[in-house]
Structure 1
């Protein structure tokens, strides 16, 4: 099968790899029809993780079931399915509580597993023609009859739509709340869409990329260009001097300011921008260690964080990757009912063979490259 393979820092290739196949009775084999490049893939692409060379990338996947293991009961050949990026077993303590992003079975020794991702288990990614799905009955979300027509919407259920929703849940968004979202990348834009659906009264999205801020405005948010570094003060002013009720961090440890990485910038800005006793949800990726960081603290996975200010304001913070299965059924139904159209942020739909160039363009944050969907079938 053709697949996108990590060959080292800033080098991916599309080449023939052994076909994915059923390995256990609970597996499902999926022919991939859509698979996305995620901002998290760029951490590996840039050589900022321990990703091994020769591995297939891709954790945002959708396709058609072509084979099922002997123990699979619910999923059938011919089903169109979307897979959460995080792999859950369905029966461990965390999965039973709905915390499928922190499965205790799928990746022994660590809470959490994913397709084609560093330190998240041995599972191959789905930027390929075929994907083996472990615990298939649990991990395959079956799609409705309009699955082919709305494929570019449904594929975003694999990660960024649920992750954006998760950011608002962690922050505690309620109808009528004001919310400040740092980051107008795909996840930040999905947080804005989620906040809109949940009835937020004022949605402010902060970034420095003009094209992404334009998309945020298209989604009904107030765009705030932080090129001058005064976004937190402007948010306070725009909320009558109180600060936003809620805040979302959708950037992560590679946040940049004038070309230099400042990993603590968004977190400290949110403490300033959110009102006393407000909530902050953090879904941007922060890692336990980052040897490639420019900042000495960041190399050890640490931040110079304004904890004293957070404490004095009585704010609360919740963090972590999205438990996709906690949200994907309901978000699927919003798409099916025409209440949500996440695909409006997709900038490029390309054949799998163009993946190397797409990675390069997306990694450079070139204007107009917001979200890339790859089509292995052409």
Structure 2
């Protein structure tokens, strides 16, 4: 099968690799029709992780079931399905509590809770930027889609259920966002956009989004968010102005450890500390931006150890609460699917490009460079998506 293979920092290639296949009775084999490039893929693409050369990337995947193992009961050949980026068993202690991002059985490394498709340190599972994907624990990990999912135009919305829509929702859940809240989101990339969309669904009073890319800020306005360009103003001061000096009730961190200032200087603590100063006394913060235990490419010795210079004194003094961690996609994807099906949510507004899998290396380069207009890329391993943009 054709698949996008990681070869080293900023080097990926579409190659012939052995076909994905059923390996256990509970597996499902999916022919991938839509798969996204995620900002998390760029951590590996840039060589900021220990991703092994030869691995297939891709954890935001949708397609048609073409084979099922003997132990699969609910999923059938011909079903259109979308998979969480988490690979979870569904029956360990954490999965029973809905904490599927921290499954205790899916990762063979006993020191790591949780697994994912095509991701460094998250188990041996290949990614879905390929023609075929093996899905372990298929009955649990495959979410069946309505019949309209066969339409590639509708897949633009449904494929967002694999990661970024639930992750944006998760940010607002961790931050305890309620109707009428004032919310500030740091990071206007795809996850930040989905957090803003989630705030719209939850009917917040104000949603402010901090970024410096004009195309991202313009997208945020589409869902009613107030854009704050941190290259033009102090974002903390602007949040205070918009909240009459009180600060936001809730804050969402959707950037992660590669946060940097407008001049390009990397500082993994920047967004976290700005959130502490932007959020009111006794407010809540949700952090879904990726942070890692070790970062050999970090900007300083502290960052290389996966540590940040966090302003804990002010955080404690203000009595704030913070929730963190990867999204438990299964906790949210079915309800978010219903919102899409009912026309209440259309996350595809962020899609800028749909391309065949053969164009993936160029797409990674453009997306990694943060070129204007490259906000979200969908790849079609079946050869669809020949139009350069949506």
SS in 2 for 1:353: helix
Of the three residues 341, 344, 349, the one matched with 2:354 is 349
1:85 aligns with 2:85: yes
Of the three residues 228, 237, 242, the one matched with 1:238 is 242
Q: Give the number of equivalent residue pairs.
A: 378
**Corresponding residue of 2:376:** 371
**Corresponding residue of 2:56:** 56
**Corresponding residue of 1:227:** 231
SS in 2 for 1:34: strand
1:208-227 → structure 2 map (5 Å cutoff): 208-227=212-231
1:332 aligns with 2:334: no
Find the aligned partners of 1:295 and 1:141 in 2 and give their Cα distance.
42
The answer on whether the counterparts of 1:146 and 1:336 sit within 8 Å (CA) in structure 2 is no
1:1-378 → structure 2 map (5 Å cutoff): 1-108=1-108, 109=110, 110-149=112-151, 150-228=154-232, 230-257=234-261, 258-378=263-383
Q: Give the CA deviation at 1:229.
A: 5.5
Cα displacement string for residues 37-79 of structure 1 (whole angstroms, at most 9, x for unaligned residues):
0000000000000000001000000000000000000000000
SS in 1 for 2:148: coil
Q: Which moved more, 1:225-234 or 1:175-184?
A: 225-234
Q: Give the CA deviation at 1:228.
A: 4.0
Runs of 4+ in 1 over 6 A off after TM superposition: none
Find the aligned partners of 2:238 and 2:301 in 1 and give their Cα distance.
30
Q: Give the CA deviation at 1:148.
A: 2.4
Q: Give the CA deviation at 1:293.
A: 1.0
Find the aligned partners of 1:54 and 1:259 in 2 and give their Cα distance.
31
Cα displacement string for residues 103-159 of structure 1 (whole angstroms, at most 9, x for unaligned residues):
000003110000000000000000000000000000000001221231110000000
Q: TM-score, normalised by structure 1?
A: 0.99
SS in 1 for 2:149: coil
Find the aligned partners of 2:38 and 2:6 in 1 and give their Cα distance.
14
SS in 2 for 1:63: strand
Cα displacement string for residues 254-273 of structure 1 (whole angstroms, at most 9, x for unaligned residues):
01111110111000000000
Find the aligned partners of 1:298 and 1:360 in 2 and give their Cα distance.
25
- 5+ long unaligned stretches in structure 2: 384-390
Find the aligned partners of 2:157 and 2:217 in 1 and give their Cα distance.
21
Find the aligned partners of 1:104 and 1:243 in 2 and give their Cα distance.
39
Q: Give the CA deviation at 1:237.
A: 1.4
Q: Give the CA deviation at 1:295.
A: 2.0
Alpha carbon RMSD of aligned pairs, Å? 0.6
Find the aligned partners of 1:237 and 1:220 in 2 and give their Cα distance.
18
SS in 1 for 2:361: helix
Find the aligned partners of 2:129 and 2:119 in 1 and give their Cα distance.
12
Q: TM-score, normalised by structure 2?
A: 0.96
